[in-house]
Each structure stands twice: as C-alpha cells, then as structure tokens.
Structure 1
Amino acid sequence: MKVQVQNLDASGAGDIELADAVFGLEPRADILHRVVTWQLEKRRGTARGARERSDVARTGKKFGRQKGGGTARHGDRRAPVFIGGGKAHGPRVRDFNPSLNKKIRALGLRMALSAKAKDGSLIVLDALDVAEGKTKTLVTQLAQLGFGKKALVIDGDALNVSFALASGNIGGVNLLPAMGANVYDILKHDTLVLTRAAVEKLEARLNG
C-alpha cells in the first residue's frame, strides 16, 4: 500500500510503501473488541480486601451470659459492633488481570492500524519539527493538514521535543512513542498520524 508522505506545512515529501501485513488487513470487530476489553480491564486496580468477622484474631469466647447481664446478647468479640472486630460486608479482593494471547494482541494492533488506513484517517508525516516549539505555529499547520478534533500522533523511539512542547496546550492532540502504540488509543482518536520513524518501528515490531 502506497501512501503520500507530508510535511507539517502540508507540502509533499514523497511516498512510502506500507506493509500489507501490518496496514492492509481486513479489520474484525471481535478481535478489536477482545483487545480493547483486555486493555481496559488491565487498567483496573485490585481492591484491598477488608478483614471480616472470620479473619480477625480475637477470642471466640462468648462475651457474656445470654440473659440477665443487662447488655446485648453478643456472641464474641469478633462482632462488627466492637472496636477491632471484623468489617461487616467489607470489600473483597477481586482480580482484574485477565490474560490475552500475545498473537491476538499483535493481531488487534495490526487491525487497528489497518482500519485507520482503510477509512482514510491515516496521515504519514516526514518529521515533527516545529519552529521554536511554538504552539501558534503548530495550530496553523494542523489546520492545513486537517487533523480533525482528536488526533493521535505516534513518533519513533523518542518523542520530538519541539512538537511535544508545541502540542502540550492543544486539546485533542496526543503524542506517543512507537512502543506505546495500542489499539484503544488508536481507535479512540479520529485521525492517526505516523512519522516515517514510527512506520519503520511498527513494521519491525508487527511484521514478524
């Protein structure tokens, strides 16, 4: 698949051949759904469980006689009404760390990239250099490129410092290194923007 490469000023910078094994697949909703669900579940933290009545280390001896003591008829000191007693209906430890095969994860990422390439919302840039890291300059350039309301920009191994500074105050523009590319963020944004370096890294990562 051949795609035109652009500069930030919307001028042409030649063409690039995208690997069909990474950018030319037919997206499957079931695979994308599995990967997105796995990602969101991995973000959830495990709740800290509370000690309930059977977990606290206190005597099990009956607190007092059943009748005639002038107080409530308690069983033992583990009751939730006592200081140091077990928590009544406390939070339980729940595990939100599902597993998903590495091949399915990689396939989902390839399909997410292919989906953006298929619907025309993929832009390839030659580089991300912004003059003096000025936000005003970048806003003008992005308007010419037609990034849309929400754009995910993926660079190579290291993020471009000038672009990171210039885009920091622009809502809807997010920047990631190639290693951080993931299905959820790609699908959540209207436009996917890749640099030449990002294309090389992603193809090397997924074309095996």
Structure 2
Amino acid sequence: MDIKITSLSGGDAGSVTLADEIFGLEPREDILQRVVRWQLAKRQQGTHQSLGRAEIARTGAKLYKQKGTGRARHGSARAPQFRGGGKAHGPVSRSHAHDLPKKLRALGLKHALSAKAKAGGLIVVDDLASNDGKTKAIATQFAGLGWTNALIIGGSELDVNFSRSARNLPNIDVLPIQGINVYDILRRQTLVLSKAAVEALEERFK
C-alpha cells in the first residue's frame, strides 16, 4: 500500500510503499487483546502484601483456659477473627507476568500497525527534528497537523531537541523504534512513523 509522506511543516515530501505483510493485514481483536493483557500484566508491580497470622507481632499465649468458660476454644490472639489478628487469604507479593510466544507478540504488533493503517490513523513523516527545542513551537506544529492524541515513533536515535520539546505535551508520546509496542499504539488516536521507523520495521519483520 502507498502512503504519502508529510513534513512537520505540513508540506508534501513524496510517498512510500508499505509492506502488506506488516501494514495490510486484517486486524484480529483476539490477538490484540492477548498481547495487551500480556503487556499490562508484565508491568503490574505486584507489591501488594498483607500480614498473615504467622507475621503478626502479638502474644502467642493461650487467651483463656480450654474448658469451662462456655466460649469457643481459642489458642491464639493472632487468629483472623480477632481484632488485630492476621488477614486470612490476603494478597501476597508476586509477579503477575505470564508467558506469551514471541511469534504471537510479533504478530500482535503487525495487527496493531495494520489496524491503525486501516482506520486511517497512520501518518509517515520524513524526519523528526526541532531546531530550537521549544515546546510552544512544537505544540503549534502539532496543532496545525491535527496531532492532538498521537504516538510518535522515530528511528533508533531520537533528535534531542524534538524529544525534549514534545515530552511535556499532553496525550503525546515520543518513543524510539525500540520502544514501539501494541498497547501504546492502540491507546493513541494517531500513529506517526518516521521514514527511519518504517525502514526499521520492515527490516525487523523481513
């Protein structure tokens, strides 16, 4: 599929042919859902922790004698039914990550790219660079291009002035090609790829 290349100033910079095996697939929601679930589970901290009865700092003495009181036979004040006791079956620190085959992860990225291309939310620019590194100037350029909610992917090395000036803008994410992922593609309305990013993707999936 052919798509025109634009510049940050809004001018025409030619066209590029995108590989159909990367940008022309019929998107499958089940694959996208599995990859997004894998990503979110992997980044979940899992630091939730409550104290069980074995971790409570409390006396271990028997509360009262075993027989003759007419009450239940308790042996520890650390039991969950007492105020100040341990929590029964509470959360513990653990990893929420689960495995996902590498081929499925790669396929998920292809389907995410194809979904953006099919929805008309894919834009290719010739270069991502800023002369002065001013956020106000970049914000004006983005507003003129209609990039109010966008993920911008550059080459392996981002222009320092461009990344600095764009990182404070709301709903704008700027990543190198190494950081491209399914979740960030889907959560933003527009996907902006530089020519270097397109070449890197085609080389990666060649």
Task: State the TM-score, normalized to the length of structure 2.
Answer: 0.83
- Which residues in structure 2 correspond to 1:177-188 (within 5 Å)? 177-188=176-187
Residue 178 of structure 1: how far off its partner (Å): 0.7
Looking at structure 1, the residues matched to 76 and 169 of structure 2 have their Cα atoms a distance apart, in angstroms, of 61
- Which residues in structure 2 correspond to 1:184-199 (within 5 Å)? 184-199=183-198
Listed as ranges, the gaps of 5+ residues in structure 2 are none
Aligned residues, how many?
A: 203
- Which residues in structure 2 correspond to 1:8-47 (within 5 Å)? 8-47=8-47
Residue 200 of structure 1: how far off its partner (Å): 1.5
Per-residue deviation, residues 65-93 of structure 1 (Å, max 9, x unmatched)? 33579xx964146546698xx62326333
1:173 is matched with which residue?
172
Contact residue 47 and residue 91 of structure 1 kept, 8 A: no
Fraction of identical pairs, as percent: 50
One-letter identity of the residue aligned with 1:161: V
Pair 1:115–1:65, CA change in 2 (3 A): same
What RMSD over aligned residues (CA atoms) do the two structures have, in Å?
A: 2.9
Residue 64 of structure 1: how far off its partner (Å): 5.2
Looking at structure 2, the residues matched to 63 and 55 of structure 1 have their Cα atoms a distance apart, in angstroms, of 18
Contact residue 56 and residue 86 of structure 2 kept, 8 A: no
Residue 110 of structure 1: how far off its partner (Å): 0.4
Contact residue 52 and residue 90 of structure 2 kept, 8 A: no
Residue 56 of structure 1: how far off its partner (Å): 7.4
- Which residues in structure 2 correspond to 1:1-208 (within 5 Å)? 1-53=1-53, 62=62, 65-66=65-66, 74-76=74-76, 78-79=78-79, 87-89=86-88, 91-93=90-92, 95-147=95-147, 149-205=148-204, 207-208=205-206
Aligned-partner SS, 2:124:
strand
Per-residue deviation, residues 27-68 of structure 1 (Å, max 9, x unmatched)? 011111111111112221224544533577999875653357
Listed as ranges, the gaps of 5+ residues in structure 1 are none
Looking at structure 2, the residues matched to 63 and 135 of structure 1 have their Cα atoms a distance apart, in angstroms, of 67
Task: State the TM-score, normalized to the length of structure 1.
Answer: 0.83
